[in-house]
Amino acid sequence: MALTKKQKQYSILLIFVLLVSYFSFFDDYFKYLEVKKNGTSDACKSYYSEFPNGYFTEDVKVIEIQDLRDIVLVREFFNDYPNSEYSTVELINLEIWNDEIRRYDSIVESNDIFDQDAVVFFRELLTYMRDDNYSEIFVNLKGNVNVQNFENYAYDIRETIDYIYEYDGERKVTGNIVNITSNYDDGNINDYEQVIRQSILNSFENLLSDNFISLSTYNDYKSSISDLVIEIDYIIENQEELYEGKNYPHIWHYTIDKKLESYVIGISIKFDFSFKLPNSDYSFSLQTNALDNISDIQDISDGYREMTKQNFQNFSDGILKRFGIFSQLPIGGVKE
């Protein structure tokens, strides 16, 4: 049967497309063989550049992972090729995680400040994240402010404190003390909470390889029941001392050029830490205070900010000490 002119045109076009595809495939194939021979990440990048949607992209990604052993590339591979038949990537993922767990063990072994229960839990955490392909931990901070001004203490407590200060030759506290309640707002609290997040993240980054674990702020509206969440509850309260069954406010001195400007009430924060896995959990509570001296401040509000920040930093250090990953960093006037 003779072909019409139009059929001949379609046949020629089809043959042309097949030839182009044929030679394009072999260009792709020969480039892949070149990558396979070199086995370097640079060769892989060259392949991606020439063949953005290459037929052998999955194979090339495996070669790149073998060369770089990068956990981010491994995770991307699992996401892009969930049904891949390459068991090599699974083995590399396992080896990378095991290297990180061994690194943690070596850090703990060289450290004499840790809580054994916390260390056991952290190992379980890393193993769980390895086996279930987790890379993100959420931090859920929930706080309350429960401070009271000096004038709200019972009369006998205020009278006793005034007597002690006047007896020591100082000004009495009544009428010379700043209100503590006016120095807290949501904006400042968010800054203080960031101290904890950043400190934990920095320690994870120093402990583990780059991009190994990410730390995010927990969001009730986007949360999943399977999320790994560190729960931290805290209450900001007056720093107090118990004497004969009564709580007395701890008084600090605000000085300028070593001269007393006013008194301020110290603050203390009670923290509750909880972290749960399906088959284990770790929790502890810690009451923190600021350091003895706070210097280089601009005003009273700045002093309270630094005092509160130090409390958050002290708690963050407490977390890291328990897990055996604490390293001493500088914390950067008000004095007792």
pLDDT in tens, 128-143: 999 998 999 998 988 8
- For residues 196 and 166, the model is more confident at 166
Sequence-distant (6+) residues with CB within 8 A of 77 are: 61, 62, 65, 84, 89
Mean pLDDT, the chain, whole residue set: 85
How far apart CA 317 and CA 331 sit, in angstroms, is 11
Euclidean distance between CA atoms 29 and 19, whole angstroms: 15
Tokens of residue 84, six digits: 């891949």
Position 295 scores a pLDDT of 76
Q: Which residue has the higher pLDDT, 267 or 26?
A: 267
pLDDT attached to residue 3:
46
The domain ranges of the chain are: 9-93, 111-335
197 pLDDT exceeds 70? yes
Residue 129's closest CA among 75, 77, 89? 75
Q: How many other C-beta atoms are found inside a 10 Å radius of the C-beta of residue 179?
A: 15
User: For residue 37, which amino acid is it?
Assistant: K
- Measured in degrees and rounded to the nearest 5, phi and psi for residue 119 equal -65, -45
Give the pLDDT of residue 21.
47
State yes or no: pLDDT of 52 exceeds 60.
Answer: yes
**What backbone torsions phi and psi does residue 113 show, to the nearest 5 degrees?**
-115, 100
**Torsions phi, psi for 86 (to 5 deg):** -80, 105
**CA pair distance 100, 78, nearest whole angstrom:** 19
More confident residue, 157 or 224: 157
What average pLDDT does range 231-252 have in this prediction? 94
Is the Cβ–Cβ distance between 280 and 294 less than 8 Å? no
Residue 330 binned pLDDT confidence (cut-offs 50, 70, 90): very low
Residue burial 78-112, b: 16+ Cβ < 10 Å; e: rest: eeeeeeeeeeebeebbeebbeebbeebeebbeeee
Instruction: Tell me the mean pLDDT in the region 20-45.
Output: 81
In the prediction, which pLDDT does 4 show? 57
Ranking 144-148, 161-165, 222-226 by mean pLDDT, the lowest is 222-226
Length of the chain counted residue by residue? 336
Decide: 122 and 323 in contact? Cβ < 8 Å.
Answer: yes
Q: What is the dihedral of CA 42, 48, 50, 56, to 10 degrees?
A: 110
pLDDT value, residue 37: 94
Q: How far is CA 309 from the centre of its chain?
A: 17
Q: Summarize the confidence of residues 87-97 as an average pLDDT.
A: 95
User: In angstroms, how far is CA 47 from the centroid of its own chain?
Assistant: 36
Q: Taking the CB of residue 251, how many other CB atoms lie within 10 A of it?
A: 19
Percent of the chain with pLDDT over 90: 53
| pTM (two decimals) | 0.80
- Determine the Cα–Cα distance for residues 305 and 124; give it in Å rounded to an integer: 37
Q: What is the mean pLDDT of residues 291-310?
A: 80
Helix (H) or strand (E) holding 300: helix 300-322
Give SS3 for 294.
strand
CB 60 within 8 A of CB 32: yes
Residue for token digits 């007792």? 336
Give, for 117, the enclosing helix (H) or strand (E). Answer: helix 116-131
pLDDT class for 96, splitting at 50, 70, 90? very high
Q: pLDDT-derived band of residue 16, with 50, 70 and 90 as boundaries?
A: very low
Q: Does the pLDDT value for residue 331 go beyond 50?
A: no
Question: Tokens for 223?
Answer: 């949360």
Decide: 122 and 111 in contact? Cβ < 8 Å.
no
Indicate whether 5 pLDDT > 70: no
Mean per-residue pLDDT, 217-234: 81
Which pLDDT score, from 0 to 100, does residue 11 have? 52
Q: How far apart are CA 13 and CA 311, in angstroms?
A: 76
